[in-house]
Structure 1
Amino acid sequence: MYFKLGAAKTTATGAFSPSQQEFRSLASVDQYSGFSTMLQSLFRHGLQKPFARNCSTLGPRAIQAPHHPAAKLGCKIFGARFRSDAQRRAPQQRQQQQWQQRQPPPPPPPPEMPPDMDESSDSTLKRLVVWPFIGINVVVFLWWQSAEAEARRNGRDLARTPQQRAVGARNTIDINDPATGQLKHMMSNYTLSLRNMREGRWHTLLTCAISHATLDHLVFNMISFNAFAGFAIMSGVPLPTLLALGVGSGLASDMACLYDWNRKRKETPGLGASGVISGLGTAMACMRPMASFGIILIPVGIPLSLLMVGYIAYDSYRLNSEESNVGHSAHLGGSAFGVVFYMLFLRKYGGVWNMLRR
């Protein structure tokens, strides 16, 4: 026997049987209950478990019924909306790494260059090297002028240069004359000659490089020395290296002169800093071949390498000339030492060595 109780039906035994409308109401309540459970789990646990992979936060009914609307809402909408920043950045980082791997390797580092020098250190090295050398040359030049003035006061007529006096030019004097004692001292101690070598005056290998008897010779050599030595200091060449280059160039030019005079059977004395300057200029031309240098009466700059090649070519052409009083062999000897010194000690600063390696 059945009787109607509201919208529900009961059996005689008292069992409750909901109607279709009431069943729908219970299903909707179940949906809302599962959705509230999902929100509570979301606020309680945060985003530690992505919804797309783990739907346990939706409650047991969502697991039993994957087609449940709340399960779909949690797994798809919330899972896509609450992805972490690391997950969003992962593809971008992967693309950036792939792009970096496709890039060519970076070029090799440039050759080791000397440290930059400020103006104070530059001027300090000039005071230690350039100006003392120029000052010594000026003092020796004045000593030459005093010796020649003494000889003139004693009634002796002098030739223009020590070279002309040595080879027997007109109006020359005999340096063994007692009236020319100071001039004899200068010829014996401040010029390079085979006679001085035979008589054991080895110090003239060094003193001849600071000796100038004429003003034009002194001015030209000192301007050139200031330019080349100053450029070496600005390029970062250490002071001991610069001193070794200068002394070595002077000695190499002396050896070349002595060999040339012995080959020609000439007793021609030599003096001047031309050999030192040739060595400095050639070494700097190898280290900085494209550096621009100016020449008197030429308004445009000339690459240092081209300038030194021109000097070497001219000295080679005039080497065997009987009319020239210039020590071309000394220039060539100094230049040869400059090239060797660069290859041994200065190639780490770049220049011609790097060009040859390419």
Structure 2
Amino acid sequence: MYNLDIVTIVIIAANVIISFKGFEDRLFFEKYKFNVGSIRRGEQIRMFSSGFLHADVTHLLFNMITLYFFADAVIFELGRVNFMIIYFASLVFGNLLSLYFHKDEYWYSAIGASGAVTGILYSAILLQPEMSLYMFFVPIPIPGYVFGIGYLLYSIYGMKNRIGNIGHDAHFGGAIGGYAITLVLMPSLFRTDLGYVGLLALPIVILFVLYKTGKLN
């Protein structure tokens, strides 16, 4: 059903290989995971390397399946090079937001490609806002832009209430990266899809307002 692009295959392969290395080698895992204290001491490689480590096979599988479904939409619209720019920039955006919100929590650690993958997801939705998405627990198709807005609103809720062992801030930061860079790469969206551009910006504006008013924590 899907003819995966070689770039997507390489990224998935890198995630699988590095994640399994981390599963088997705890020292490797600890050396390259996202950790606030280590990053603030100068180990900046963790901002990048942590995006290829995962907690377990389920975590890895969920991220790679999500990438599998949304990567081709971005590659088709923007090309391989721009897809890679969005992927890796979203990974860093996600970790930067995590670092900002947890800068004083030296023990805070995280791993996973979620920031990068969420950036690709949000980019794909911005490029094809009326795409139909199907969820296991919802019997009808969901418009892409509705899913994207709902996902980020839930991420804000998760950040505010620290729900689960999930890096909601990394997801949100990745989405901001995917959104912003897609608009830079395809500014014509401001002309052709301004309404969707505005709608998809709403959660970002809400996060900013909550932060500025001190209501995020």
* Structure 1 length-normalised TM: 0.51
Q: Percent identity?
A: 22
Judge which range, 207-216 or 295-304, deviates more: 295-304
d(CA) in 1 for partners of 2:159, 2:22: 27
Q: What letter matches 1:226 in structure 2?
A: Y
Aligned counterpart, 2:30: 187
- Give per-residue Cα distances to partners, 1:214-272, cap 9 Å, x unaligned: 12111110010111112222x33211111111111111111000011115x35211111
Structure 1 residue 138 corresponds to structure 2 residue 16: yes
The alignment status of 1:217 with 2:59, answered yes or no, reads: yes
Structure-to-structure mapping, 1:142-161, within 5 angstroms: 142-147=20-25
Aligned to 2:93: 252
C-alpha distance in 1, partners of 2:142/2:163? 29
**1:290 is paired with a residue of what secondary structure?**
coil
Offset of residue 324 of structure 1: 2.4
* CA displacement at 1:354 relative to structure 2: 7.0
Q: How does 1:24-39 map to 2 (within 5 A)?
A: none
Distance (Å, rounded) in 1 between the aligned partners of 2:10 and 2:166: 25
- Following the alignment from structure 1 to structure 2, what is the Cα–Cα distance between the partners of residues 218 and 343? 29
The question of whether the paired residues in 2 share the 8 Å contact of 1:270 and 1:327 is answered with yes
> 4+ residue stretches of structure 1 with deviation over 6 A?
354-357
The number of aligned residues is 197
Deviations 1:154-186 (A, max 9, x none): xxxxxxxxxxxxxxxxxxxxxxxxxxxxx1232
Match of 1:294 in 2: 134
Higher relative contact order (CA 8 A, sep 6+): 2
Larger Rg, first or second structure (1 or 2): 1
Residue 80 of structure 2 corresponds to 239
Q: Write the mapping of 1:57-206 to structure 2, written as runs, cut at 5 A.
A: 123=3, 126-127=5-6, 129-147=7-25, 183-189=26-32, 191-206=33-48
2: distance between equivalents of 1:312 and 1:288? 17
CA distance in 1, matches of 2:169, 2:195: 29
Q: Could you tell me which amino acid in structure 2 is paired with residue 132 of structure 1?
A: V
Distance 1:144 1:283 in 2: 29
Q: Which residue does 2:177 correspond to in 1?
A: 337
Q: CA deviation at 1:323?
A: 5.0
Query: What is the alpha-carbon distance in structure 1 between the residues aligned to residue 155 and residue 44 of structure 2?
Result: 26
Equivalents in 1 of 2:15, 2:136: separation in Å? 21
Distance 1:133 1:296 in 2: 26
Aligned to 1:213, what secondary structure does the other structure show? coil
Would the aligned equivalents of 1:254 and 1:330 in 2 still touch at CA under 8 Å? Answer: yes
TM-score (norm 2): 0.81
Distance between the aligned counterparts of 1:341 and 1:293, measured in 2?
23
Deviates more, 1:241-250 or 1:287-296: 287-296
Aligned pair partner of 1:320 in 143, 156, 160: 160
Partner of 1:304 in structure 2?
144
More helix by share: 2
| Residue type of the alignment partner of 2:184 | L
SS in 2 for 1:301: strand
- Deviation track 1:265-285 (CA, whole Å, cap 9, x = no partner) reads 352111111101111111222
Equivalent residues of 2:71, 2:120 under 8 A apart? yes
Amino acid at match of 1:336: I
Consecutive unaligned residues in structure 1, runs of 5 or more:
1-118, 148-182
**Displacement, 1:355?**
6.2
Q: Are the counterparts in 2 of residues 292 and 303 from structure 1 also a CA contact under 8 Å?
A: yes
2:201 corresponds to: none
Q: How many angstroms does 1:199 deviate by?
A: 3.5
Gaps of 5+ in 2: 199-217
